[in-house]
Structure 1
Amino acid sequence: MQQVKAVVATAKGEPVSIATVNVPDPGPGEALVKILACGVCHTDLHYREGGISDDFPFLLGHEASGIVESVGPDVSDVAPGDFVILNWRAVCGECRACKRGEAQYCFATHNAKQQMTLGDGTALSPALGIGAFAEKTLVAAGQCTKVDPSARPAAAGLLGCGVMAGLGAAINTGGATRGRSVAVIGCGGVGVAAVAGAVLAGSSPVIAVDIDARKLAAARAAGAMHTIDSSAGDPVEQIKQICAETYPGAEGADIVVEAVGRPETWKQGFYARDLAGTLVLVGVPTPDLTLPELPLIDVFGRGGALKSSWYGDCLPSRDFPMLIDLYQRGRLDLDAFVTEEIALDQVEEAFDRMHDGTVLRSVVVL
């Protein structure tokens, strides 16, 4: 057992605090990881606000990189000293999805079995089974993906959630590739990553939609060829016009990635698709939101696919090393997503800046 400093959310809507946390030694199939960096993600704020569950207190943080310090019995994929990115989809290898070769859809992903606790023994709920706003955390060994140790920890860790979610939504879920147009609605960290993914895949045109000029500027920096301020006009008609200029007769984008998680923007994405186009929902909605009413004939008549993308349909063991390699070779600018590096006790202020839209990612560096 070790004691470490960590960021804890103790009650719904209350500011987070620094607490001393007890971290057990790793048991069978578990790994103890010394955290080097962890991004401040909207999901952590959702936990603090009670938008995911009410299993307080929460040990926040999940978008992380670190060094494996020790492992429990029966662990062979990682070893002490390995530089890893943490993931929240440790696949089981035994479920129907895994056995049919679709481990990215694993039905039985798992976390560490032992619980981390506060000093008084109160069990903590680690965010997405990770809890990485901490000096060290205990995870299932399958949540550790070994990557090139020369990669910058603050940038590499972002693949653990938001950047992977956006890249994967465009490429893995949406099928972005050459000859296909992509529109991304909502250009926070996940949306800008979707833009970067579409550009990386060779899609054209790549269109970014938002109401914030700063976010649209970030999307342009990531390679968006067109930007649309949706507060100044109908984005659906503008997307259609841009796509028709490249592909005469097109009635919208081949792929629309909705990275907001709102019924209004989802409906915009539905109608901004070309016939037989794909709409991908990657923005995380709150539990009270419902799909907007649509004429069923429109759902039938437009064809195509309406998908949701969970973690960018990624397989960490396949995708993380590949993306780190692209980063190291200058083809994927992960550094651009790191707006600022902060200390462990500055997470609450980082939530405020997230609300203000002034950052793509604040990253805690330990």
Structure 2
Amino acid sequence: KLEMAKMFGATEVILAEKDDVGLIRASAKVKEMLGGRGADYAFECTAIPALGAAPLAMIRNAGTAVQVSGIEEEITIDMRLFEWDKIYINPLYGKCRPQIDFPILMQLYKNGQLKLDQMISKEYSLDELQHAFDDMLAGVNAKGVIIFS
């Protein structure tokens, strides 16, 4: 998945260690890569509640942490992670404005600048629904797609 991230525009990637609680060590690597200041933006996309605050540890002062995966349960956050003037947002659909943004996204896709087809790592029939869920939970695919005949 790290190589796939590079294919889609990531300039640097870090493989976090499973025992890195809250991704604190990974955050230190991010800050080291950026000369000690942290990222302007960091996104949590895992839907793992224990990582809900991880982007706060990776951003610079006045940076923005974005909760993308929609964690919908109580989590504990060390308030020191908010120092200084850090912003934490949980936008619905990334604050998308469908009437404005969808035509732009469609044009980017048509021009080959938005690589949606390349994100699909496996297609499943409706009869393979359980297999698709099992693969999703195991992290096998970047994106699995159910094909309806």
TM range (shorter): 0.7 to 0.9
Within the alignment, does 1:307 sit opposite 2:89 as a pair? yes
The one-character-per-residue Cα deviations of 1:129-167 (angstroms, maximum 9, x if unpaired) are: xxxxxxxxxxxxxxxxxxxxxxxxxxxxxxxxxxxxxxx
1:235 equivalent in structure 2:
26
Unmatched 5+ residue regions in structure 2? Answer: none
* Corresponding letter in the other structure for 1:342: Y
Richer in helix (by share): 2
Higher relative contact order (CA 8 A, sep 6+): 1
Residue of structure 2 aligned with 1:271, choices 57, 62, 67: 57
Normalising by the residue count of structure 2, what TM-score does the alignment of the two structures yield?
A: 0.85
**Alignment partners' CA distance in 2, 1:340 and 1:315:** 29
Q: Is the 8 A contact 1:263 1:291 kept in 2?
A: no
1:350 equivalent in structure 2:
132
Instruction: State percent identity of aligned pairs.
Output: 28
Aligned length: 143
Richer in strand (by share): 1
The one-character-per-residue Cα deviations of 1:69-114 (angstroms, maximum 9, x if unpaired) are: xxxxxxxxxxxxxxxxxxxxxxxxxxxxxxxxxxxxxxxxxxxxxx
Instruction: Determine helix, strand or coil for the equivalent of 2:134.
Output: helix
Where do 4+ consecutive residues of structure 1 move more than 4 Å? none
Instruction: Determine helix, strand or coil for the equivalent of 1:278.
Output: strand
Q: Is the 8 A contact 2:16 2:26 kept in 1?
A: yes
Within the alignment, does 1:294 sit opposite 2:76 as a pair? no
Residue of structure 2 aligned with 1:333, choices 98, 109, 115: 115
| Higher alpha-carbon Rg | 1
Unmatched 5+ residue regions in structure 1? Answer: 1-214, 245-249
The one-character-per-residue Cα deviations of 1:306-337 (angstroms, maximum 9, x if unpaired) are: 11121111122221221111111111111111
Note the C-alpha offset of 1:263.
Answer: 4.5
* Corresponding letter in the other structure for 1:293: D
Within the alignment, does 1:226 sit opposite 2:17 as a pair? no
Given the superposition, is the C-alpha separation of residues 240 and 260 from structure 1 closer, same or farther in structure 2, using an over 3 Å criterion?
same
The one-character-per-residue Cα deviations of 1:7-55 (angstroms, maximum 9, x if unpaired) are: xxxxxxxxxxxxxxxxxxxxxxxxxxxxxxxxxxxxxxxxxxxxxxxxx
**Alignment partners' CA distance in 1, 2:144 and 2:117:** 12
Given the superposition, is the C-alpha separation of residues 364 and 262 from structure 1 closer, same or farther in structure 2, using an over 3 Å criterion?
closer
RMSD over aligned Cα, in angstroms?
1.9
Q: Is the 8 A contact 2:6 2:12 kept in 1?
A: yes
**Alignment partners' CA distance in 2, 1:293 and 1:263:** 14
Instruction: Determine helix, strand or coil for the equivalent of 2:13.
Output: strand
